[in-house]
Structure 1
Amino acid sequence: MTLNRRSFLSMTAIATTLAAATACGSSDSGSGSGSSANASASASDGAVVRDADADLVIWTDDVKAGALKDVAQKWGEEQGITVAVQSVASELQANFISANQAGNGPDILVAAHDWIGNLVQNGSISPVTLDSTATGNYQQVALDAVTYDGQTYGVPYCVETLALYTNKALTTVAEPATIEELAAAGQAAGTEAVLSLPVGEKGDAYHMQPLYTSGGGYLFGKNADGSLNPDDIGVGGEGSVAAAGKIGELGSQGVLKTSISDKNAISLFTEGKAPYLVSGPWALADIKAAGIDYGVTKIPGFEGMGEARAFAGVNAFYVAAGGKNKAFAETFVADVAKDSTIAEAMYAVNPLPPVQKDLVTTLEASDPDMVTFTELATSNADPMPSIPEMAAIWGPLGKAYANIVGGADPTSTIQSAGEEIKSALA
């Protein structure tokens, strides 16, 4: 089973709904035994509860719970303790914050790095310490992603980003150097779509990010120490206007279409209706099943403009600030960071691009596509902003993209989006 990109994006949107989050029940009874490593964390009344029978409790989503359960249980047996990996099917972030505040949450959370700002703001996670051996084994993008306000808050285990897939049977241009070259080759293919890049009727700021950055746009400026400055909003500024103009041209040429969304983008490619696809590692299973002669490479930028840089999303382990067994939690995450043993065991169940260098080396021969995604995340991507203010970006920017691709004036549309974002953050 592969992880869908939407599970990363939903993380940020949840930050805006915490006020309405379901309160965690006071019951301390769990839904599974301490050695049952993949129990649901929801009680019959809908409240989210900690497994009371386990010494160490880990909360995560269904996919990661399935990958973690066996290795966590084995680790617990080696330590002489019971471990429960509980899956929280919906509103994991909101339920974790509520449970942590109520004192009946888990000891460890496994989730995307762009939650960090909100979790820190709510006092839900504690900083962790990575020794020099561990930090030396991690890709820098992973370390950057879990660093917030100068402190390390998570232990990374995988990363994902976007790449350009090429159907080599439909075009001889396997690695276009520019978007313009891609557009020409895609049009020459004579297929239904030139580039299967999700735009959608409501917009998709995640998938459009490489084009936005290449055109000169940015989301947040940076402070002198390299941290993001939420008071410096780039949407609506000069660079974003230039990017919007280029995106508008692609819309008028039919290279980008609002009829292509994350619902049909991969299938258009696997069915031979598009020579190019912009997607992440979650598309690999379908592409391989289709038997396509494909290539994976970086997304090109506009001719004469900047590099196309996608978002990098990192999954990590976090120590709950209010966990009952913090010592066990700190020992477990230290073992995650120590080497790739735990990450490799999770990879065998749910393959995701690794962030530990020793695991990258191990997979170079057997799974080069995943290694390619790791390399792209390291060299051609930036960590998705983890500051809470990012929640205000997604909707207005995505809708602006959809409108621009649909024919709206690029300048006024992107400027209006910027004003909406600034108003929301005022």
Structure 2
Amino acid sequence: MRKHFLAMAAAGLALTMTACGGGAGPADTTAPSASTDTTATAETSAPMEDAGTLTLWADENRVDSFKALGEKFKTSTGVTLDVVEKPTADVKTDFIAQAPTGEGPDLIVGAHDWVGDLVKNGVIAPVELGDKVSGFSETSIQGFTMDGSLYGVPYAIENIALVRNNKLAAETPATFDELVAQGKSSGAEFPILIQQGAEGDAYHLYPLQSSFGAPVFTTGDNGEYTGELGMGGENGAKFAAYLKKLADDKVLSAAIGGDQAKQAFLDGKSPYMITGPWNIADFEKAGIDFSVLPVPSAGGQPSQPFLGIQGVYLSSKSENALLANQFLDYMTTPEAQTTMYELAGRTPALTESADAVDDKVLAGFGEAGKDGQPMPSIPEMGAVWTFWGAAQISIIDGTAKDPAAAWKTMITNIEGAF
């Protein structure tokens, strides 16, 4: 199902990026500028020996990819990339704790929605890509931008979509209600699988919620999220009522978490599952004939899944700012972006690399996410998840007798936590 492309362009152009060296915050000082061509390519010169070492933290899902990319980077520059594996749950928190002490890494790999917390704690430096910004998708740049400054170099974009078992369903209806009806008539145990679990899962329900015109936050004229909730009011109440309907129709259940949903789909117990590219390899390994499609609208407006953008952040406390800039420069090249696609199977953030991808699966995810929005990275988002998931699961399991009232209480609780 996969057809990887081999066309790679090696570029070593330098870029100017700002970095703090140990001051009070990201904007206090400016790192040495990589304003000349400091990246020697394999085609033009032999790799330098022992040109220095950078430390990069990556989680268990990305560590191998960055180790492989680091080998290419060393061949080009002579700079060693020491990739340290950190548990997913610890990368951000440990970085915030250790960076101010000088014990943290020069670079970390993470999602764009970390920007708010990292900026607030003063542990990352803004970067300046200059004209290279235009080479990236608008969404990927938007995701790493806060208050007009860019904080990180994006390299991959992902989102959830509707995955269909083509053996159990040949065509997909235009609306979510029709899809549920089709799933029930198929005779499968589950009409569609949407993971929840005991604490709820607002992320996997967001395409449905957004189709009711109830975005988590409003956006300003510049496209950036404001700190004002957008999921209250009449549209939010309508979505809350719809959650109750889906629970009554046995579509949603607290007993179906991520592992249970995945296994049920692998076992052919449902024609549909809302999930992301992280499960695709297992579906392929199981020999399932599947298609990746947009999530049909439930509320009449387009489904807008969250877009997750992965990128590399620069520590504001790095003592190797020039070398770190050199690696961030490398991350803007088609060679690096294409390599990460081939190693990790995500749509590149660089348009040139993304346009060269010939992959039906990624094309399906791209179509499903064409109306999507980056997951909010503003600090207020940290107050949302717990209340959001708890309110949704209380409606799904019947603890909340009045969905609209439960939703209104959720809004009040979230706003009180800002």
Same fold (TM over 0.5): yes
Unaligned runs of 5+ in 1: 1-52
- Aligned partner of 2:416: which letter? S
- Distance in 2 of aligned mates of 1:382 and 1:164: 17
Spell out, residue by residue over 1:128-154, the C-alpha distance to the aligned partner (whole angstroms, 9 max, x if none): 12232x333322211111111111111
Does the alignment pair 1:59 with 2:71?
Answer: no
Match of residue 283 from structure 2: 287
1:410 aligns with: 403
**Residue of structure 2 in register with 1:376 after alignment:** 368
Alignment partner of 1:72 is 2:70: yes
TM-superposed deviation, 1:54: 5.5
Judge conservation of contact 1:199–1:401 (CA < 8 Å) in 2.
Answer: no
Question: CA contact under 8 A between 1:244 and 1:411: conserved in structure 2?
Answer: yes
- 2:187: which partner in 1? 190
- Gaps of at least 5 residues in structure 2 are 1-50
Identify the residue that residue 358 of structure 1 maps to in structure 2. 352
State how far apart, in whole Å, the 2-side matches of 1:201 and 1:80 are.
49
Single out whichever of 217-226 and 285-294 deviates more from structure 2: 217-226
Residues 9-408 of structure 1 mapped to structure 2, 5 A cutoff = 55-89=53-87, 90-132=89-131, 134-173=132-171, 175-230=172-227, 232-302=228-298, 305-337=300-332, 339-364=333-358, 367-377=359-369, 379-407=370-398, 408=400
Tell whether the 8 Å contact from 2:142 to 2:224 is kept in structure 1 after alignment: no
What code does the residue aligned with 2:235 have? G
1:7 matched residue in structure 2: none
SS at match of 2:169: coil
CA–CA distance in 2 between the matches of 1:118 and 1:54? 30
- Whole-Å separation in 1 of the counterparts to 2:222 and 2:142: 12
Aligned structure 1 segments of 4 or more residues deviating by more than 6 angstroms? none
How far apart are residue 227 of structure 1 and its match?
Answer: 2.3
Distance 1:245 1:387 in 2: 28
Equivalent-residue separation in structure 2 for 1:170 and 1:160 (angstroms): 26
Q: CA RMSD in A?
A: 1.8
Q: 2 CA distance for matches of 1:349 and 1:216?
A: 37
3-state secondary structure, aligned to 1:105:
coil
Q: Is the 8 A contact 2:337 2:349 kept in 1?
A: no
CA–CA separation in structure 2 for the residues paired with 1:375 and 1:360: 13
Displacement of 1:247 in angstroms is 1.9
Percent identical pairs in the alignment equals 33
Aligned partner of residue 62 in structure 2, secondary structure: helix
Please tell me whether the aligned partners of residues 355 and 374 of structure 1 are also in contact (alpha carbons under 8 angstroms): no
Aligned mates of 1:200, 1:57 — CA distance in 2: 36
Question: Could you tell me whether the CA contact under 8 Å between 1:215 and 1:246 is conserved in 2?
Answer: no
CA separation in 2, counterparts of 1:74 and 1:355? 19
Equivalent residues of 2:115, 2:144 under 8 A apart: yes
Deviation at 1:117, TM superposition (A): 0.6
Partner Cα distance (1:376, 1:139) in 2: 16
Asked if the contact 1:56–1:83 (Cα under 8 Å) also holds between the matched residues in 2, the reply is yes
Aligned to 1:36: none
**When the two structures are superposed, what TM-score results if normalisation uses the length of structure 2?**
0.83
Secondary structure at the aligned position of 1:166 is classed as strand
**What is the deviation of 1:81?**
2.8
Deviation of the 1:262 alpha carbon? 1.1
Mean Cα displacement is larger for which, 186-195 or 343-352?
Answer: 343-352
Q: CA deviation at 1:257?
A: 2.3
Note if contact 2:70-2:81 (Cα within 8 Å) is conserved in structure 1: yes
Q: 1:325 is aligned with what amino acid?
A: N
**For residue 384 of structure 1, what is the amino acid of its counterpart?**
M
Aligned equivalents of 2:269, 2:203: Cα separation in 1: 23
Kindly state the Cα deviation for residue 373 of structure 1 after the two structures are TM-superposed: 2.0
Shift of 1:199: 2.1
Measure how far apart 1:375 and its partner are. 4.1
SS in 2 for 1:63: coil
Name the amino acid aligned to 2:202.
Answer: A
Query: Whole-Å Cα distance in 1 between the matches of residues 316 and 186 of structure 2?
Result: 55
CA distance in 1, matches of 2:406, 2:177: 23
- Single out whichever of 404-413 and 287-296 deviates more from structure 2: 404-413
2: CA distance, partners of 1:330 / 1:156: 14
Tell me how far apart the structure 2 counterparts of residues 135 and 111 of structure 1 sit (CA, whole Å): 19
Deviates more, 1:61-70 or 1:346-355: 346-355
TM (norm. structure 1) is: 0.82
For the 8 Å contact 2:202–2:392, the answer to whether it is kept is: yes
SS at match of 2:347: coil
Q: Using the alignment, how far apart are the partners of 2:59 and 2:108 within structure 1?
A: 10
Aligned CA distance change for structure 1 residues 167 and 74 (closer, same or farther; 3 Å): closer
